[in-house]
Structure 1
Amino acid sequence: MHAAELACLEPHISLKPPVYGVAEGEGRKELAKTFVCSQKKLNEWDSSFYIGDLGQVVRNLQLWTKHMRQIRPYYAMKCNPSQPVVQLLASLGVGFDCASKFEIESALKCGVKPDDILFAIPCKISSHIEYACRTGVRTMTFDNVDELHKIKRIHPTGKLLLRLDVTDFEKGIKFGDKFGASMPKARKLTLLCKELDLNLVGICFHPGSGSDSSEATRNCLQHCKELYDFATSNEVHLKTIDIGGGFICGENFIEISEQVTATVGKLFPPKTGVRVIAEPGRFFVKNAFEFVTPVHGKAIVGDRAKYYIGAGVFSTFCMSLFEELKRIPESLSRKAVGVLPKSIYKLCLQETCELYPSTVYGPTCAGVDVVLNNILLPEAQIGDWWFFDNMGAYSSLLSLGFNGYMVLKTGFYISQNIW
Structure 2
Amino acid sequence: MAPTALVDLGEYNWNIPQPVQHVGKPTLIANHGADVIRGSAAAKSLIGNALKTRVQSVNGDVCEPGEEDAFFVADLGEVYRQFMRWKMNLPRVKPHYAVKCNPDPQVLRLLAELGTGFDCASKAEIESVLNLGIDPSRIIYAQPCKTKSYVRYAAQQNVKQMTFDNADELYKIKQLFPNAELYLRIITDDSESLCRLSLKFGAPMDTTQDLLTLAKELDLNVVGVAFHVGSGASDPNAFLKAVKDARCVFDQATDLGFSMHTLDVGGGFCSDTFEKMAAVLSDALDAYFPPSVRVIGEPGRYFVAEAFTIACHVIARRSVEDPVSGKTSYMLYLNDGVYGNFSSIMFDHQQPVAKVLQCAGTFEYGAGTMEFDTEAGVEYSIWGPTCDGIDCISQSIEFPQIVDVGDWLFFEDMGAYTKCSATRFNGFTDSHDTIYVSSEPGASALLGMH
Question: What is the aligned partner in structure 1 of residue 295 from structure 2?
Answer: 276
Question: What is the aligned partner in structure 2 of residue 311 from structure 1?
Answer: 336
> Contact 2:192/2:234 (CA < 8 Å) preserved in 1?
no
1:98 corresponds, among 83, 95, 120, to 120
Residues 42/358 of structure 1: CA separation in 2 closer, same or farther (3 Å cut): closer
> Contact 1:29/1:387 (CA < 8 Å) preserved in 2?
no
Question: What is the aligned partner in structure 2 of residue 30 from structure 1?
Answer: 49
For residues 17-416 of structure 1, what are the structure 2 equivalents within 5 Å? Answer: 17-18=25-26, 19-23=28-32, 24=36, 25=42, 26-38=45-57, 43=64, 44-167=66-189, 171-250=193-272, 252-270=273-291, 273-302=292-321, 303-322=328-347, 324-333=349-358, 334=362, 345=370, 355-378=377-400, 379-405=402-428, 406-415=430-439
> Contact 2:194/2:349 (CA < 8 Å) preserved in 1?
no
Greater relative contact order: 1 or 2 (C-alpha under 8 angstroms, separation 6 or more)?
2
Deviation of 1:269 after TM superposition, in Å, equals 1.8
CA distance in 1, matches of 2:73, 2:236: 31
CA distance in 1, matches of 2:394, 2:412: 15
CA distance in 1, matches of 2:376, 2:405: 16
What residue identity is the alignment partner of 2:415?
A: G
What residue identity is the alignment partner of 2:29?
A: Y
State percent identity of aligned pairs: 36
Q: Deviations over 1:87-106 (max 9, x none)?
A: 11111100000000000000
> Contact 2:189/2:238 (CA < 8 Å) preserved in 1?
no
> Contact 1:209/1:245 (CA < 8 Å) preserved in 2?
yes
Residues 276/167 of structure 1: CA separation in 2 closer, same or farther (3 Å cut): same
Q: Deviations over 1:322-379 (max 9, x none)?
A: 4554322222213669999x6xx38x7xx99953432211111111111111333443
> Contact 2:348/2:417 (CA < 8 Å) preserved in 1?
no
CA distance in 2, matches of 1:198, 1:29: 54
Question: What is the aligned partner in structure 1 of residue 22 from structure 2?
Answer: 14
What residue identity is the alignment partner of 1:389?
A: E
Residues 203/42 of structure 1: CA separation in 2 closer, same or farther (3 Å cut): farther
Deviation of 1:169 after TM superposition, in Å, equals 5.6
Secondary structure, aligned partner of 1:235: coil
CA RMSD between the two structures = 2.5
What residue identity is the alignment partner of 2:410?
A: F
What residue identity is the alignment partner of 2:78?
A: Q
Report the more deviating stretch, 329-338 or 129-138. 329-338
> Contact 1:49/1:407 (CA < 8 Å) preserved in 2?
no
What residue identity is the alignment partner of 2:93?
A: I
Report the more deviating stretch, 373-382 or 204-213. 373-382
CA distance in 2, matches of 1:337, 1:176: 41
Residues 92/38 of structure 1: CA separation in 2 closer, same or farther (3 Å cut): farther
Secondary structure, aligned partner of 1:256: helix
CA distance in 2, matches of 1:338, 1:133: 50
> Contact 1:80/1:393 (CA < 8 Å) preserved in 2?
yes
| TM value normalised by structure 2 | 0.83
- Which sections of structure 1, spanning at least 5 residues, go unmatched? 1-9
Report the more deviating stretch, 227-236 or 94-103. 227-236
CA distance in 2, matches of 1:137, 1:91: 19
Q: Deviations over 1:62-120 (max 9, x none)?
A: 11011111100000000000111111111110000000000000001112110100000
Residues 52/336 of structure 1: CA separation in 2 closer, same or farther (3 Å cut): closer
> Contact 1:119/1:139 (CA < 8 Å) preserved in 2?
yes
Secondary structure, aligned partner of 1:294: strand
> Contact 1:169/1:219 (CA < 8 Å) preserved in 2?
no
> Contact 1:35/1:411 (CA < 8 Å) preserved in 2?
no
Secondary structure, aligned partner of 1:21: coil
What residue identity is the alignment partner of 2:260?
A: L
> Contact 1:171/1:216 (CA < 8 Å) preserved in 2?
no
> Contact 1:316/1:407 (CA < 8 Å) preserved in 2?
no
Deviation of 1:226 after TM superposition, in Å, equals 1.6
Residues 132/38 of structure 1: CA separation in 2 closer, same or farther (3 Å cut): farther
Report the more deviating stretch, 236-245 or 91-100. 236-245
CA distance in 2, matches of 1:137, 1:198: 15
Secondary structure, aligned partner of 1:29: helix
- Which sections of structure 2, spanning at least 5 residues, go unmatched? 4-20, 37-41, 322-327, 445-450
